[in-house]
Structures are given as structure tokens and as C-alpha cells.
Structure 1
């Protein structure tokens, strides 16, 4: 039994450092990476274009869009609905015509069956012979058809069914929250520009572009913000908790507020970016078992 001292002879032969080195070289095992700053959508950027907004609006769920982008999205969805609805109506009309044809064919078949039954009632003489008795038995006599079990013949193969078009949904859903979205529910956002006389850059080139409308705190991707629905002013969540919720009054206009008048802005969380606890990206690769 060896001692746990300077001579650590009881350690594993395949060390952790060697395992990680081989994983990187061979390409097996889970791979994790932390997203950089460029992978996070800006708090004031549109959730569709991922660019700074010129006419920002916010949905009741807290997602910011450029007004032109979201209106174009809603209009496109309505055009898509109208196109699908025309296809659905065309399908319904074809089904009605098909039902009429089937009813007419069934009526004609019943008529022929009745006529055939009436003809078979006629009494035949005993001495008379049928056509099958005189010329031999055949499966092609009369109305009989020869059925061949040949799957390669088109007439014997299965018939493909037409793809049925489902009735389209008229509701337009938000591309982010998947909740119903309407133009009347969009609230215009009024950003308060950060006043910095020493910064001569343009508004888009600045890192600190906007500030809280009440406290004057600079807003960034790490700041929790909210929009006051009545006026569209953007304030910090700390301002909401410490100032607004004391008397439920708008600090700038004095209007009474409720919990429904406060829309909390969603940070990040687009199809191409993340925020907060979702900054770690992980990819699972084939693993190797080590004995």
C-alpha cells in the first residue's frame, strides 16, 4: 500500500489533462463555449432586424420591434392567410363537385342494376343453351373482367390520395412570444437620450445612448428596464420598485398607474442571441468510454 505523499503512485494513469487534450484533438465529448458580447442583442434593437430601432414599438409581452418591420411582418402574414384561404375554398368547391359526380354515378349504377334484375326475371326454355355452354367457359365472357394480380400495372396499383389543405388560422402570432399580436396592442416607445456633452459621436455609435426618464441612470444590456404604457417612457426596474410602486403615480405626468400599465422589456432572447443565464452554449459530440 503506497503512501499519499510525495510519491503519488496511486493516481490514474490517464490524467484529466490528457483526457481533455485528447478530446480536443479527436473531437469527442461535450463542447462548451461562452457567448461573447457580439452574440447578445442590444436592449434597444429590433427583435426582427437585430438593428437599432428608428421608430420603436413594444408588444404586451415586452419584445421591442421597429414599427416598419413588425407592420411588414403582420401584412405578410395576412397575405399568406388570404392565399391559403383561396386554396382552401377551391378545395371545398372541388369536393362539392366530386360529391355531385359520385351521387350521379351511384344513381346510374342503381338504375343499371335494376334493369339487369328485371331482365333476369324472363323465363328461359329448358332446351336453350347459354353462350358460355356453347362456346366454353371463359372469364372474359359477358361483363366479367379478367383480374390480374400484377402490381406493376397502373390499373392494379394503389391510387395516391390528394393532399388535403387544412383551414388556415386567421390569427397573426408574434414571432418571438408566439402570442396573438395586433397593431392596436403595440405601444410606442419613447427613449430618453443620454446627455453627455463630452461625447461627440453619433447616437448609433455611442455605447451609452439612452437613460432612465426619471432617475437619469444610463441604460445598457445589463439593466432591467420597463416601459410605462400610457406615455411610452422607459425607466429602470429599480425606479418602478422604489418610486412608482409607492403611490402608483406616473413621476412625469402624475397619471395613475396599475400593474398592467408596466411592460417589462425582454433582453436578448432572439433566435440568434441569448442573455443572462443562457450565455453558455453547449454542443454534444460522440463520447468515448475509458476503462
Structure 2
């Protein structure tokens, strides 16, 4: 243990840091770690490859992805995979079998509830006394019934104790495997679907919903390689403010221009007109772009990563 190594065994408190250190060394329990800025992508990088995008596109959730050829390949492969899953007999049969098992379980539960209701009704009805009780014979009958019940319980307990070691060794789960713990439930199969979903959010997405993003470079004279080596690469299309992970941005659907959220609130929302193309805008045409991580908790990015590991059952 940690305290033994420090020659401090008289403490009555198992501190938080000692618990975390022992958890990391033992290999059991869920391990969590806080991510830094170097582990999170920038605002202009692809969510899948974490690299700067060339001809990027954005979804209606504000997720920045790679160029359209990548999406064409992605949609084609996902469509083939989904069609294969839908028309694959083994997967369809397994899903139908699971669905039938769930239906049978629900029917058994409803029948058991109905049976319990009937038993409670019978018990209440039998408890009603319809004839007077003889005080001289009722006590003897009760004593005889209690004696017989005691003998029956003793015999059943001996039989159960003899059978307990055989069944406990078979039903005892492996506590180091999460799927064999008493609280574990079988993994349910999902219904095969032909709908293509976003790889980041999991929501359904269509090809015509992808919007081409046009970033305004800070220095138009630089080529793409020289631009990517800089920390500040792009600016707002209207105010020319430098864009970064700490600056909230938005994409305008008609033109694909990237502007700051401050520009949207102070300038664009007054006329609801695209400053690049002059088209009318609606609230649906202004898509907030997901920002990158700055390393601070208030950046809007989840900075905690967790890894599920085997747990010890107490």
C-alpha cells in the first residue's frame, strides 16, 4: 500500500490521492483523466482525423469534417453496410429472436402479476370466518399445525444446505469480468437501419445538409502549406478579427463564410442578410461552429476521459 512505503501506517484516513494512485496501479475500477489542450483538435480541424481540413464541410450541428469526396465515399460505404445489415438473414433472425424473447418476458410478467393478484384475493377471502370457533379445540389444532410446520422447515433447511455448495459454486460469477456480475444485463441488439448517421453525434444526416465552409485566410498571399504552419490562420469574413479556439464562430449557410458570434449578434441579426452574397437569412441559416479546446473547463469542450475497466465485487 501507499502508506507503508512512506512509513506512515498510523493514519486513520485513506486519502483521495492514495486511492487514485492505488486504483491506477491495481488495474481495477474506472480510470478517468483530464485532457489538456494538446489532446483536443482546433476549430478548423476535422473531427475524425484531427488534422486541418482542405475544402471542409460542416453539418447542421456545427461539426467540421473533411471535404466532399470523403463524404461521398463515406455515404456509399455506409449505405452498402446498412443494406447488408437489413437484408442479412442471420442478423435479422437474431433481432427477431430477441424481440420475441422480450415479448415472452413481458407476457410472463403480466401473468405472474395476475396470479399474485388472484392469490392475494384468495387469502383475503379465506381469512373471513363464517362459523364460530371452538375455543377448546382451536388451540390444540394450532399447536399441531405449528409442530408439523417446524418439522417441515427443518427438513427443507437440511436439504437446502446440502444442495447449497453444489449450486453456489456453479452460480458464483467471476467478479473480475464485468459481464458476469449480478448487475450485468445481456447486450441488446439494435434494429438494423438504412439511415446514415453522423459519426460524431449519431444523428441522421443527409448529403444535401452538408455545407461547404469557406475560411478567410489571414494572409491571402500564402499557400496552404505555409498557412497551416501558422497559429493564427483565418479571420472573420466581415470584421477581420482573428479566429481561434477561444472565439465563438458561426457559419452562414448561403455563402459558407465563417464569422464571429459577436458579428452575428451585433451586425447580421439586425438585417438578417448574408454580408457576402446578400441573401436573406433565417435562424436556421446561422450554424454555430463547434470550437476547439483551450485547456480550460469553460471552453465548452468535455475535458474528462474515462476508461471502463473490470471492477471488484464486494
TM-score, normalised via structure 2 length: 0.53
Alpha-carbon distance in structure 1 between the residues aligned to 2:84 and 2:30 = 45
For residue 65 of structure 2, give the secondary structure of its aligned residue in structure 1: strand
After superposition, the Cα gap between the structure-2 partners of 1:278 and 1:200, relative to the gap in structure 1 and judged at 3 Å, is: closer
Q: Which runs of 4+ in 1 moved over 3 A?
A: 13-16, 18-34, 88-92, 165-168, 196-201, 280-287
Match of 2:78 in 1: 77
Aligned pair count? Answer: 198
Alpha-carbon distance in structure 1 between the residues aligned to 2:219 and 2:234 = 8
Matches within 5 A, 1:82-231: 82-88=83-89, 168-195=192-219, 202-231=226-255
Match of 1:145 in 2: none
Match of 1:42 in 2: 42
Spell out, residue by residue over 1:123-173, the C-alpha distance to the aligned partner (whole angstroms, 9 max, x if none): xxxxxxxxxxxxxxxxxxxxxxxxxxxxxxxxxxxxxxxxxx997322111
Alpha-carbon distance in structure 2 between the residues aligned to 1:90 and 1:47 = 31
For residue 241 of structure 1, give the secondary structure of its aligned residue in structure 2: helix
Q: When you count helix as a share of all residues, which structure comes out higher?
A: 2
Alpha-carbon distance in structure 1 between the residues aligned to 2:91 and 2:307 = 46
Q: Indicate conservation of the 8 Å contact 2:86/2:194, yes or no.
A: no
CA RMSD of aligned residues (A): 3.9
Query: Unpaired segments of 5 or more residues in structure 1?
Result: 1-12, 93-164
1:281 positional shift: 4.5
Spell out, residue by residue over 1:24-80, the C-alpha distance to the aligned partner (whole angstroms, 9 max, x if none): 653479976532111111111111222111120111111111123332221111111
Kindly name which structure, 1 or 2, has the bigger radius of gyration based on alpha carbons: 1
Q: Indicate conservation of the 8 Å contact 1:33/1:282, yes or no.
A: yes
Alpha-carbon distance in structure 1 between the residues aligned to 2:85 and 2:40 = 36
Query: Unpaired segments of 5 or more residues in structure 2?
Result: 1-9, 94-188
Q: Indicate conservation of the 8 Å contact 1:46/1:52, yes or no.
A: yes
Q: Indicate conservation of the 8 Å contact 2:86/2:193, yes or no.
A: no
Alpha-carbon distance in structure 2 between the residues aligned to 1:23 and 1:198 = 53
For residue 203 of structure 1, give the secondary structure of its aligned residue in structure 2: helix
Alpha-carbon distance in structure 2 between the residues aligned to 1:210 and 1:264 = 16
For residue 226 of structure 1, give the secondary structure of its aligned residue in structure 2: strand
After superposition, the Cα gap between the structure-2 partners of 1:233 and 1:85, relative to the gap in structure 1 and judged at 3 Å, is: same
